[in-house]
């Protein structure tokens, strides 16, 4: 079975995410307002900066994993495009930017893409968890409302990656790297 061309637009139901946006914006506003309201208590943070050195190192490592995974996924997409003979130049690849979703779906069978996806996932969740830990360990209880954003980030990262991971597992049996 021949894959659909990259410029085809499959019909997908559009989910209404207005309530999600409103929830996240509300969480940000509440977090900022709460932090501003309790600003004097946050002065304690300056005295405790040495306690976050290890968290900072861990955060730097998870960011490297996040970005490295994205690079590996891009390489996996490039392998797919070259294998299918659709694009032979960088300029041609740049023209495919608007079709990244279809390209990613077709690249899911690539071992390089799957590796990049998993490395990126570890980096994304790790960064969020480390920020969460930093807030809980270093900031006063009055600033714990700031945990909302990293918590939403971790939950969202897991929520969309679990179904995508299932797709990767299914695609792995159909296509392999040459």
pLDDT at 113: 87
pLDDT at 60: 92
138-168 burial by CB neighbour count: b if 16+ within 10 A, else e? ebeeebebbbbbbbbbbeebeeebeeebeeb
pTM of the entire predicted model? 0.61
Place of tokens 């004097």: 40
- What's the Cα-to-Cα distance from 137 to each of 76, 118, 141, rounded to whole Å? 39, 28, 9
Angle between helix 100-107 and helix 53-83 axes, rounded to 10 deg:
90
Contact 130, 61 (CB under 8 A): no
Tokens of 94: 């740049």
CA-based R_g, the chain, Å:
21
Q: How far apart are CA 31 and CA 24, in angstroms?
A: 10
**Ordered mean pLDDT values, 10 residues apiece, the chain (178 residues):** 50 60 85 79 67 85 94 81 63 67 75 91 94 87 88 91 76 45
Instruction: Give which of 76, 63, 176, 79 is closest to 130, Cα–Cα.
Output: 63
3 state SS of 9: coil
Instruction: Give which of 150, 117, 131 is closest to 58, Cα–Cα.
Output: 131
Q: How far apart are CA 140 and CA 138, in angstroms?
A: 7
């Amino acid at each position: 079975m021949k894959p659909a061309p990259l410029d085809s637009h499959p019909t997908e139901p559009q989910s209404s995410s207005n309530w999600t946006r409103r929830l996240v914006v509300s969480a940000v506003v509440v977090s900022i307002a709460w932090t501003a309201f309790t600003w004097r208590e946050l002065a304690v943070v300056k005295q405790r900066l040495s306690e976050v050195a290890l968290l900072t190192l861990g955060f730097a490592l998870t960011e490297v994993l996040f970005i490295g995974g994205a690079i590996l996924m891009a390489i996996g997409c490039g392998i797919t495009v070259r294998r299918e003979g659709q694009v032979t130049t960088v300029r041609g690849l740049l023209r495919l930017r608007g079709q990244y979703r279809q390209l990613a779906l077709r690249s899911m069978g690539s071992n390089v893409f799957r590796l990049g996806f998993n490395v990126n996932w570890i980096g994304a969740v790790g960064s969020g968890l480390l920020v969460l830990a930093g807030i809980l360990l270093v900031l006063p209880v009055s600033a714990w409302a700031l945990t909302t954003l990293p918590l939403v980030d971790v939950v969202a990262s897991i929520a969309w990656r679990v179904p995508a991971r299932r797709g990767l597992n299914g695609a792995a049996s159909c296509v392999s790297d040459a």
